[in-house]
Amino acid sequence: MPARRGTIFDRNMQVLAVNLNKDSVFANARLIKDKAVTAKQLAKILGLSESFVYERISRDKGFVWLKT
């Protein structure tokens, strides 16, 4: 069972940070060979613009966020 970080409070017990469970999609842009086809397919599935997805997966990065 993974451990949860828990809520972080300041000295006056005001909440500074909480845990949120969110579905997220990321890609290793360096591994995508046909970026145009991939952008078109992912955009349709994720409800994003094709140009947005293409820009993200065209970066020379091993990790890019596509949607959270």
Averages of pLDDT over each 10 residues, the chain, 68 residues: 84 93 93 97 98 97 95
pLDDT of residue 5: 78
Q: What is the pLDDT of residue 9?
A: 96
Residue 20 has a pLDDT of: 84
The answer to whether residues 4 and 17 touch, using CB atoms and an 8 Å cutoff, is: no
- The residue with tokens 């409070």 is 9
The closest of 6, 60, 10 to 35, measured between CA atoms, is 60
Instruction: Supply the pTM of this predicted model.
Output: 0.72
Q: Where are the beta strands (DSSP E) in the chain?
A: 8-9, 15-17, 25-27, 64-67
pLDDT value of position 51: 98
Q: Which of 9, 10, 7 is nearest to 18 (CA)?
A: 7
